[in-house]
């Protein structure tokens, strides 16, 4: 929650003190402009400098992408999917005190939400038998096996593999510049996005990472979950990432104690919660 709760708590008093003044000033002077702080991705993308050719079969290194690459390609729900979707209460549709978004209690974002909604930073590390993907948010990692093993045949059954927040993944190269990751077995307590789209443990996800040149990487994500959606769909297409020059990722953590303080100050002002919306 650091970067969300931390800044909100520290700056709350100042924000409240200046709120009425700032509102009046904006009304009286429409030319008032607060400069927007650009993200690292926006700064690197704006440089548009020439890049060296992409090395073959090599994604090694740290990359930064947009703050949130929210997909818009969801097909209609199945009856079960519709039923589960209605149980989710995303913020800001619901008041912060009433949302049940797992992020608000610092539960793992899980996969693929961590590549749909949190693309600010990740690192690839290629090993002889696997690709390690390190994600900046919550400092979590995934093992993408490249040793020829198969994905589990069934999930959460008597003889099957248990579901996990980040599932099970295998990968292979499609040509010299595209790395393909297939995943299954993701814990169905996680959401797909901030809008509360659900998924089942039998969902299959395919990521494709194409290195366009040395400094540019494109990501696409396709989801196939027939228990929840009537058809497969490409959730993200060609989301760009840029090579980070100093190869350093930020520390971006969701801290439960800060999350509790954030909810108490912002979500429950005066110790009460609004009814719903």
What's the angle, vertex CA 262, arms to CA 116 and CA 274, rounded to 5? Answer: 95
**High-pLDDT (> 70) share of the chain, %:** 82
Higher per-residue pLDDT: 104 or 190: 190
- Whether 162 is in a domain gets the answer yes
In a domain, 15, yes or no: yes
Task: Indicate whether 276 belongs to any domain.
Answer: no
In this predicted model, which residue has the larger pLDDT, 132 or 19? 132
> Is residue 27 over pLDDT 50?
no
Q: How many structural domains does the chain have?
A: 1
**Can you give the pLDDT at residue 270?**
53
CA nearest neighbour of 186 among 231, 223, 216? 223
Q: Which of 78, 68, 138, 74 is nearest to 110 (CA)?
A: 138
pLDDT at 19 over 60: no
At residue 69, the pLDDT reads 60
What are 130's strand-pairing partners? 145
Tokens describing residue 92: 């800001």
pLDDT tens for each residue of 131-149: 999 999 999 999 999 999 9
pLDDT for the residue 73: 84
Residue 12: burial class (beta carbons within 10 Å; 0-12, 13-18, 19+): middle
* Inside any domain, residue 99: yes
Q: Is the pLDDT of residue 93 over 80?
A: yes
pLDDT at 32 over 60: no
More confidently predicted of 262 and 200 = 200
Given this model, what pLDDT does residue 20 score?
34
Residue 176 forms part of a structural domain: yes
- As to burial, measured by CB atoms within 10 angstroms (0-12 exposed, 13-18 middle, 19+ buried), residue 49 is exposed
**96: its two tokens:** 């912060």
Mean pLDDT of 169-180: 98
Interval 205-232 mean pLDDT: 97
Whether residue 104 has pLDDT greater than 50: yes
Q: Taking phi first (over 0 means left), then psi (-120 to 50 degrees means alpha), and beta for anything else, what does residue 258 get?
A: alpha
- What residue numbers bound the domain in which 241 lies? 5-271
pLDDT of residue 140: 95
pLDDT, tens digit (0-9, with 9 covering 90-100), for 111-131: 999 998 888 999 999 999 999
Which has more pLDDT, 266 or 91? 91
Task: Report the pLDDT averaged over residues 75-102.
Answer: 93
Q: What is the pLDDT of residue 268?
A: 66
């Amino acid at each position: 929650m650091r970067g969300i709760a931390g800044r909100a708590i520290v700056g709350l008093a100042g924000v409240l003190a200046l709120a009425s003044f700032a509102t009046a000033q904006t009304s009286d002077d429409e030319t008032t402009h607060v400069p927007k702080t650009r993200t690292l991705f926006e700064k690197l993308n704006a440089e548009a400098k020439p890049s060296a050719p992409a090395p073959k079969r090599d994604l090694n290194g740290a990359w930064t992408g947009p703050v949130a690459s929210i997909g818009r390609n969801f097909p209609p729900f199945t009856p079960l999917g519709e039923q589960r979707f209605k149980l989710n209460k995303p913020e800001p549709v619901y008041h912060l005190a009433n949302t049940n978004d797992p992020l608000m209690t610092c539960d793992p974002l899980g996969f693929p939400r961590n590549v749909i909604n949190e693309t600010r930073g990740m690192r690839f590390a290629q090993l002889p038998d696997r690709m390690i993907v390190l994600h900046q948010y919550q400092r979590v990692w995934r093992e993408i096996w490249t040793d020829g093993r198969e994905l589990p045949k069934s999930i959460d059954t008597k003889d099957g593999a248990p579901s996990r927040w980040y599932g099970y993944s295998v990968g292979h190269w499609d040509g010299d510049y595209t790395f393909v990751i297939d995943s299954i077995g993701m814990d169905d307590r996680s959401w797909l996005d901030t809008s509360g789209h659900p998924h089942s443990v039998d969902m299959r996800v395919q990521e494709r990472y194409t290195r366009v040149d040395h400094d540019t990487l494109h990501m696409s994500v396709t989801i196939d979950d027939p228990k929840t959606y009537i058809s497969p769909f490409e959730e993200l297409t060609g989301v760009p990432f840029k090579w980070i020059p100093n190869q350093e990722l930020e520390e971006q953590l969701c801290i439960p104690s800060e999350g509790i303080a954030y909810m108490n100050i912002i979500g429950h002002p005066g110790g009460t919660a609004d009814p719903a919306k």
